[in-house]
Each structure stands twice: as C-alpha cells, then as structure tokens.
Amino acid sequence: MTALAESAAALQPALVDLRRRLHRTPEVGLQLPETQGAVLHAIDGLGLELTTYDDFSGAAFVLHGAEPGPVVLLRADMDALPITEDTGVDFAFDGPRMHACGHDLHMTMLVGAAHLLCERRSSLRGSVVFMFQPGEEGYFGARHMIDAGVLTAAGRKADAAYALHVAPALLRRGVVATRPGPLLASVDRLHVVVRGASGHGARPHLARDPIPVAAEIVTALHTTVTRQFDIFDPVVISVGLFEAGAAHNVIADSARIDATMRSFSLAARERLADVTVRLCRGIAEAHGLRADVSVERQYPATVNDAEAAARFERVAAGLFGAGNVETFDHPLPGAEDFSFVLEEVPGAMAFLGVCVPERDPATAPYNHSSNALHDDAMLADGATLLAAMALDHLDA
C-alpha cells in the first residue's frame, strides 16, 4: 500500500488542477456536458472501455485485469447544486451553481483511482468499473445508469460496489468513517393540498378556511413522529413549504404543504407513508374540508453490507492508521442515490473528512452550504483509498 500512496502523491498536482477546473464549471442535473468532457479528457489514454449515454451525461469506464476474477464497481457523482457560492475562493463559479456537496472531489478521486489501478493492470485479477453518474442531487442519476446497464458494464454483474463521500465538517481532516447496515436515510416527499372555499376575511363562517386546518396538519405531523414510531427505528418529518393566500383580508381557497420524510428501515418507510396520508386526510375531513395527499418516493436508505463496511475500515486503517478510522454510532439523516446501487449489489459507502485546516469540523459549514469548503489536499488520499478498496477486493 505504501507504493500505492507514493503513486497517488505524484498525481496530486494534476488532481488539484482537475478538481479546480471542475469546481469552476459546475452543472446541475442530468445534462453535464462540460463536466463529462473534463472527465473523459482526464481518463483519455488509459485504454479503458468507455460507455456513454444518449439521454444523460454519465460515463462508465471498464478496466480488465490480466486475469479473470471478480468485478468491482467504484462510483463518483458529477452534478452540482443550484447555490451561489460564498466561500471567496478564486476558483469559484460566478453564478447560481456550486459544487457544494464535494462531487468535484469525488470525480477527481475516482479519476486518480483509475490512473493508479491502470498502472497495476498487469497484476490485476478481475475487472473494475468506474461509474461517473450525473443527477445525484434529486435526479435519480444512479437509477438511470442502472437501467442503462452500468452494473453489467464489465460483461457480467458487479460483485461489489464502493463509494467515498467527502465531509467538510463532522469529521476531522483525514478521518474515514462508515458503519455496517443503514448509513443514510431514505427520503420521500409528502405533498398536501388542503381544499377549502374562499371568502371575505370579515365573514369566515361563510367560507371554509384551509389555513388553520393546514396548520393543524403541520402540528400533527410533528406529533405523530413521537407517538406512532419506535424511537429505536427513527423517522424524521420536516415541513419545508407552507403556502396559502394572496391578501390579508381574503380567506384562501387552498393551502399547500410540502414536507421531507426520512427513515432508516423499509418497515418505517412504508408505515410513514401510510400514517401521514391518513392523518392529513382525516384532519381535513374532520373540519369539513378535503385534502389531496400524495407521497413521492425518492431515494431508499443507503444500507452498507457488513463485510464491505468492515473492508473499508480495515483498508483505511492500513493506509492512514487505526486512529484515523471511526465507526458511526448511528445512521446519518441525509440521503444518497448510491442507495440504488446497494439495493442491487453488496457494497458500502464511507465518508472522508476534508475539513480545511483553518476551520473546526465541529462548527464548519457542512455540505450543501454556500460556505462549504473542501480541502483538495486530500485528493490523493481519496484516490488511494478507492484504488486500495478495489485491489483488496480483487486480491481476496
């Protein structure tokens, strides 16, 4: 592993250049032509099999070793967020898009891992698929790539899948953390429209006011979390949108609520959808109104295979020392569409601390913040870890 780290250190200047180029040109969603072009250019010349797609800007590269063996998939996401950056770095994009979740580092680390593994092609037993996916931030990019055949890009289905996610807060710089079982939550979206009847604010008895009914629904949604769900199989409901009315003296004819719902088990996810729909409809009906309620399924929980999570911890400890490896005590309430891959293939995701030295990870802005800073001095370490995970699995 020392030789692998030395090779990665030699790549570090080129990796920094690539990461900052990607950071300067963030793109949102499934169509990422500049981003895809930068990745293709960075991989060009390695002699990998390439698959691109007509409907979205993903790319899958396949490295076949000298001998047959397992197939390992390594994944990086490519898309940015519709956020205006406020970090002050000189390579920020001037506009309402930002790599606020560190996907520019993910791509760069995977490019680095591809270079490291290609240097060792003659000793590889098996194949590695490098999955560069668009649309992780709510566009189901992993699902699109799975439907297009990425899991069988090497000629047969992948035996294992691994991904690394950077953390600009929460973890000390250089720390790798994961856990067996649920790592991240499922996420679904609750839509509620309470239908009433508009009228004059001076004569509410002649109207059917949806706003107090909607307000009661918001309170009840929060209460149901503590009274209908097991605290050891937790759920989270957060109302992010409450919209009604157009004038102070007019009773609205409808009120809209949108909420995010998160859980860590399939049973809790199914129960959450059932309970919230019945609750919203029942409260509206009790007041003589109607509620149109629907649940939009988004990402399932990200569930790590226990053996794959243990491999992450063991390999990271061998590279960086046992003091730089942690096991999360509990899952994190964020969500990830790598979950779709892990539904199909056993594997694991881990987090790598990339907090910049001048910040305290306990108080630093986290991913999705306009002030999030990711230390690109960690690029070589991330590339080393991804390559080492593939090598360890293939050697096993």
Q: Is residue 74 within 8 Å of 113, Cβ to Cβ? A: yes
Q: Where are the alpha helices (DSSP H) in the chain?
A: 2-24, 33-43, 103-118, 141-147, 210-228, 266-286, 306-320, 338-344, 379-395
From 137, 159, 313, 375, active-site residue: 137
Q: Is residue 302 within 8 Å of 203, Cβ to Cβ? A: no
* CA gap 23, 27 in Å, rounded: 9
Q: Is residue 22 within 8 Å of 394, Cβ to Cβ? A: no
Considering only CA atoms, which of 305, 351, 308 is closest in space to residue 332? 351
- Based on the residue annotation, tell me whether 77 is a catalytic residue of this protein: yes
From 27, 77, 159, 313, active-site residue: 77
Secondary structure E strands in 27-124: 49-52, 59-64, 67-77
Q: Which residues contact 43 (CB under 8 A, 6 or more apart)?
A: 50, 59, 61, 111, 114, 130
* Per-residue CA distances from 126 to 26, 65, 160, 393 (Å): 34, 5, 12, 10
Q: Which residues contact 334 (CB under 8 A, 6 or more apart)?
A: 184, 185, 367
Considering only CA atoms, which of 93, 263, 105, 112 is closest in space to residue 190? 263
Considering only CA atoms, which of 178, 161, 141, 115 is closest in space to residue 55? 141
Q: What angle do CA 56, 62, 67 make, to 5 degrees?
A: 165
Considering only CA atoms, which of 321, 320, 310 is closest in space to residue 392? 310
Q: Is residue 123 within 8 Å of 319, Cβ to Cβ? A: no
Q: Is residue 38 within 8 Å of 22, Cβ to Cβ? A: yes
- Based on the residue annotation, tell me whether 188 is a catalytic residue of this protein: no
Q: Which tokens is 66 given? A: 């000298």
* CA gap 208, 206 in Å, rounded: 7
Please give the positions annotated as active site.
77, 137
